[in-house]
């Protein structure tokens, strides 16, 4: 099986780790080999959280700079910071809803211009898919479903060896049942937005 390398970056509280668990569960159910690793950087204070998932016959879950086939960024500035993991063939999916870091919120720093972020990312990768995942999550019924919107967008690319139904089944199995319907709706909205 070909190897597909996926990096997910977010800030603490955006649901990166739950999204990774959904992908892992879908891989298990589909009998797709997967290796996963996580890096937590001050996540409880809004720091970066990075997950690496390698699908296929790989020996390591480590994704070195320039090796990512796909980057999914839950936050625009964190997506830009992770750009070093990408190459000219990488597909990047970003949530355009920014979360101001503490320093920018108190006026001690400046958050980068969103158009500049997107322009720079687009210049360094094969394909950029931008969507306001927070707005779509609210439309689905829960702003905390940003992660499911982005999983839907990832699913729509057909770049990972997991089909739509296996991901939906994993969402139903891994997420709390009280949120399952909202999460599945968010997933669908993400799929539609990525193909629009």
The structural domain count of the chain equals 1
Find the CATH number of the domain harbouring 84: 3.40.920.10
pLDDT value at position 45? Answer: 57
pLDDT value at position 49? Answer: 86
**CA 131/CA 169 separation, integer angstroms:** 24
pLDDT digits (tens, 9 = 90+) for 36-76: 988 776 555 567 789 999 999 988 889 999 999 999 999 99
Residue 95 main-chain phi, psi, to 5 deg: -85, 125
**What residues make up the domain containing 105?**
4-195
pLDDT value at position 43? Answer: 52
pLDDT value at position 47? Answer: 74
pLDDT digits (tens, 9 = 90+) for 100-157: 877 787 888 889 999 999 999 999 999 999 999 999 999 999 999 999 999 999 999 9
Residue 62 main-chain phi, psi, to 5 deg: -80, 130
DSSP string, 46-105: T-EEEEEEEESS-S-S---TT--SEEEESSHHHHHHGGGG--TT-EEEEE------HHHH
pLDDT value at position 103? Answer: 79
pLDDT value at position 58? Answer: 87
**pLDDT higher for 173 or 39?**
173
**pLDDT higher for 80 or 61?**
80
Whether the model pTM is above 0.75:
yes
166 has a pLDDT exceeding 70: yes
25-55 burial code (b ≥16 CB/10 A, e <16) = bbbeebebebbbeeeeeebeebebbbbbbbb
């Amino acid at each position: 099986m070909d190897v597909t390398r996926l990096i997910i970056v977010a800030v603490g509280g955006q649901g990166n780790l739950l999204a990774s668990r959904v992908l892992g569960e879908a891989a298990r159910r589909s009998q797709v080999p997967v290796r996963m690793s996580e890096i937590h950087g001050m996540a409880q204070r809004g720091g970066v959280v990075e997950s690496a998932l390698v699908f296929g016959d790989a020996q390591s879950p480590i994704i070195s700079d320039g090796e990512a086939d796909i980057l999914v960024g839950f936050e625009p500035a964190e997506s830009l910071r992770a750009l070093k993991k990408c190459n000219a063939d990488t597909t990047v999916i970003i949530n355009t809803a920014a979360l101001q870091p503490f320093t920018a919120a108190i006026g001690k720093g400046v958050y980068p211009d969103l158009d500049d972020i997107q322009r720079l990312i687009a210049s360094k990768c094969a394909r950029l898919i931008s969507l306001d995942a927070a707005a779509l999550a609210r439309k689905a019924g829960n702003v905390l479903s940003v992660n499911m919107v982005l999983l839907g967008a990832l699913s729509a690319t057909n770049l990972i060896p997991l089909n739509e139904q296996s991901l939906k089944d994993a969402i139903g199995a891994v997420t709390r049942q009280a949120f399952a319907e909202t999460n599945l709706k968010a997933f669908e909205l993400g799929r539609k937005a990525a193909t629009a």
